[in-house]
């Protein structure tokens, strides 16, 4: 009952958006440091379990990754890490402020 009221008040959606932001930023950093390689699948269910959330914020984060050019949507609505040229990665490092691992 309380959860339904929270969602109807907009609080539930706010929590989903905040979770999606955190997941999005975490995935960007993970891609940039090479923990997720080009072509690697981004599986909603696995990511939801990893971050301890439902699939909804994960789906939103993956959609944003695709819009940012870091992921591609393949067949069956699956997402994959997009292959990027070194120049693209350099621009991304500068834009996000994530430092390279030394």
pTM: 0.72
DSSP class per residue in the chain:
-HHHHHHHTTHHHHHHHHHHHHHHHHHHHHHHTTSS-TT-EE-HHHHHHHHTS-HHHHHHHHHHHHHTTSEEE-GGG-EEEPP--HHHHHHHHHHHTPPPP-
Instruction: Check if CATH label 3.40.190.10 holds for domain 2-96.
Output: no
pLDDT tens, residue by residue, 36-51: 999 999 999 999 999 9
Mean pLDDT (whole number) for 51-80: 92
Say what percent of the chain tops pLDDT 70.
68
pLDDT at 1 over 70: no
């Amino acid at each position: 009952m309380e959860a339904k009221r929270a969602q109807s008040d907009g609080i539930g959606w706010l929590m989903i958006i905040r979770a999606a932001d955190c997941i999005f930023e975490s995935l960007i950093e993970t891609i940039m440091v090479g923990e997720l390689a080009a072509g690697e699948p981004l599986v909603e269910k696995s990511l939801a379990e990893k971050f301890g959330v439902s699939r909804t914020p994960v789906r939103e984060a993956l959609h944003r990754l695709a819009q940012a050019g870091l992921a591609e949507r393949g067949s069956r609505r699956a997402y994959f890490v997009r292959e990027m040229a070194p120049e693209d990665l350099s621009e991304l490092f500068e834009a996000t402020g994530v430092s390279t691992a030394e």
